[in-house]
Structures are given as structure tokens and as C-alpha cells.
Chains A and B, each alone.
Chain A
């Protein structure tokens, strides 16, 4: 379960994500980006956070029943958690590989399903954790350092 990285939390907000509804896909990550932008964080920090939020949001919409994306801002890190209720991921190692995807034809037609989301989340996060239980759901935790540049 989520662990706090540092003691001082300055902001926290949870966003609901509905599975299967592509009409609102991307709105949570767009909100997260504008919240971070208002906080005058470095551009690359905002962009990395936007990318990891977006890919986790799209995965919840694509594969899960419902989920929550939780943004927590501490003194020196941004923590983004994506917690969903859904089918879970049977083989995480495989799912993390670039190019592996179980996306349906309908999802692919919208430009998703390259099998790059989780791989990109990992490479754009400063710290990344994933766990999943088949039949229950998936939990992702992404940490972005506030004051480092990639």
C-alpha cells in the first residue's frame, strides 16, 4: 500500500477515472498538469508528471472498471498513484515490455495499444512501483523529483 516518501505533504487530491469511457480520457492528467503548472515547478517536472498521469489514466480507461489517480505533493517530490479495480495484470514483466499489448481493435483505432505506456511511465519516473492482483486490480506509484532534471 502507499507509503509516504517524505513527511511534509503540501497538497493532495484524488481524481476518479471511469473505465471504458474514452470521452473523458485525458481530463484527469490535464487537470494534474495545470495544478502543477500553477505551482511554478520546472517545466520538465510538469511534463514528466503529465506523461505518467496520462498513460496511467488511459490504462484505467482501457482496461479497468474504475480507478482513482491520487496526486500528492511533498516538499521535494511529486507522487502520483493510480489505483484501479479491474482484471489486474497476470504477467507484469511481460506487460512492461515495449510493444506488448492486449488492446482491442477498437482501442487501437484511436491510436492506443502500441504497448509503450508502462514502459514510458517507468522511464519518465524517477521511481516507479507496480503491483497487481489478477481479478482485483492494479496499483502504480510514480515519483517525480521536484528539483532534478532528466
Chain B
């Protein structure tokens, strides 16, 4: 499943790198501790977090994440957006909390239609 499909199904707002939504999402990881995400997430994951600081872009880029979704309507900081545009990493925003969003994405990725 690509990011675009997830964006449509879950009504996410795309904040940057809108031209890069065809990337395949192979899995997901939810977490706000950067060193935990660095160690445990995988390439192709969609990363679900409430961290908005620009350091999330370096983490997503180093780990080759498909993109980042911010929960609870948290908006990326201006320098986060700037850096994400440079690195071409899609950042999306959801109104859902991390629990709900993770559950919905898990369901989408594991259910065949």
C-alpha cells in the first residue's frame, strides 16, 4: 500500500513532499523516543509520532522511512518542514491520537481487500 492510499482512507493532511506519496509503506512504527525509533524501526515504515522538532527528519531520513505522521493534530515546526522538503520526506498530520491511528494503519496494512 502506498502513502497516498493511507492519506485518503484516513483523511490525513499532507504538509510537505506531496509529490512523494507513491512510496510503498511496508510497515509502521509508533514512538516518541528518537533512539528507540532509530534502533527498532525499519526501512519503508511509516513513523507515527507526536514529536514536531526538526530532528525527526534526520531520523526518518537515516532510517529510510516512507514518511512521518504527526498525531493529535500536532503541526511540524517551521524548520522541520524546511528540512523535510530538502530531504523529500512526506509529513502528514492526523487528528487521531497515536493509539487510534496506529490501530487503523495496522488494520489497513494487514487486511487484504
Contacts and interface: CB of A to CB of B under 8 A. Distances in A.
Interface in A111-127: 111-112, 114, 116-117, 120, 123-124
B62 A116 contact: no
Interface stretch (A4-12, A47-55, A89-97): A47-55
Contacts of A29: 58, 62
Contacts of A58: 34-35
Interface of A is mostly: helix
Interface stretch (B11-19, B48-56, B66-74, B92-100): B48-56
Contacts of B87: 30
Contacts of B55: 22, 25-26, 110-112
Interface in A17-60: 22-23, 25-27, 29-30, 33, 43, 47, 50-51, 54-55, 58
Given A23-B79, A26-B55, A43-B43, A114 B61 contact: no
14 contacts: A22-B54, A26-B57, A26-B62, A29-B62, A33-B62, A50-B62, A51-B39, A54-B38, A54-B62, A58-B35, A111-B34, A111-B56, A114-B36, A116-B33
Interface of B: 32-36, 38-39, 43, 49, 51, 53-59, 61-64, 79, 87
